[in-house]
Each structure stands twice: as C-alpha cells, then as structure tokens.
Amino acid sequence: RGLLGDPEAIEAAIWFHDAIYDSKAKDNEAQSAALAEKKLAGRANPSRLNRISAMIVATATHQVPPFEDAAATRDASLFLDMDLSILGAAPDAFDAYERAVRREYHWVEEPMWRAGRSAVLKTFLARPHIFHTEEFRQRFEPQARENMTRSLQALQTSL
C-alpha cells in the first residue's frame, strides 16, 4: 500500500476487475470496467474513475495503459503485477491455480485447451519481463518462469 500513489483507486480496481466473469465471454474486462464506472459514478472524480476503468481493461492483456501521469503508470504497473503474482507462487499453489483455471474452462475440449493454454503461457514466457515492476520481478519472476515452463511441458506431453 505504501508503494501506491492512489491506494483507493487500486483497491477499487481490485474489487471490480473480475466483477463480471464468464469463461465463454471475450469482454469480461470491458464489462467489469463499465460496472465499476456505473457503481462509482459520483463517488470518484472522473479522472480517478478513468484510471480505475483503464486498469481493469488492462487485465485483458496485462499491458500498462498509456497514462501521462507517472504515479498512475506506477500504480497500474503494481496493480497488474498483483494480478499476475499467482504465476510466481510456490509450485503447489501455482498447480492448484492451474487446475482451477482448467475447471473454469471445463467446456473446452482437451486438445483445444492444451493449445490455447500453451499459447497463453508462451506469450508470457516470451516477454523480456513477466512483471512490470522491479519489486515483483525480484520476488516472483524466477519462480513464475519455472512454474509456467513446467506447466507448458505438462500441456505438451501427450495423454
């Protein structure tokens, strides 16, 4: 919390970022951002509300929104890193997360699941850095790479 320029905006983004979630939908982030805008209208000034909304939408790609304000950029970087921190969790926690994600997508046939999840993991592994901030890189990056590499290998192993 001490690292954040606007802790209340980050807290709102955390609460709303998956408020609307359907594993079959492609617009969960946009719908969650719209809900945040609706529920927070009149409670947050328009500039803060725009930042909250942009951070929520950014969870679709985990790319930092192009804010002009350095503090907002830093907050968004930390928010996105928090969202991805499970990737750098201890192996047993990460494996439980991977199983939970698979249950969310139970409706996807196994070959399609393996291809789609592999593509997601490869995209993250191809980045120069998974995490945007130095704090999260130091704390989570090596374990995240190990976890995702292990998961990718399991997905590519035939049944």
Q: What pLDDT is attached to residue 158?
A: 56
- Sequence-separated (6 or more) residues with CB below 8 Å from residue 116: 108
- Rg, C-alpha atoms of the chain: 17
What total of structural domains would you count in the chain? Answer: 1
* Residue 72 within any structural domain of the chain: yes
Q: What pLDDT is attached to residue 138?
A: 97
* Residue 79 within any structural domain of the chain: yes
Range of the domain at 24: 7-156
Q: Can you give the pTM of this predicted structure?
A: 0.92
The number of CA neighbours under 13 Å toward the Cβ of 24 is 3
Q: What pLDDT is attached to residue 148?
A: 98
* Residue 1 within any structural domain of the chain: no
Walk along the chain (159 residues) in steps of 10 and give the mean pLDDT of each run.
91 95 92 95 92 96 93 96 97 97 95 95 96 97 98 84
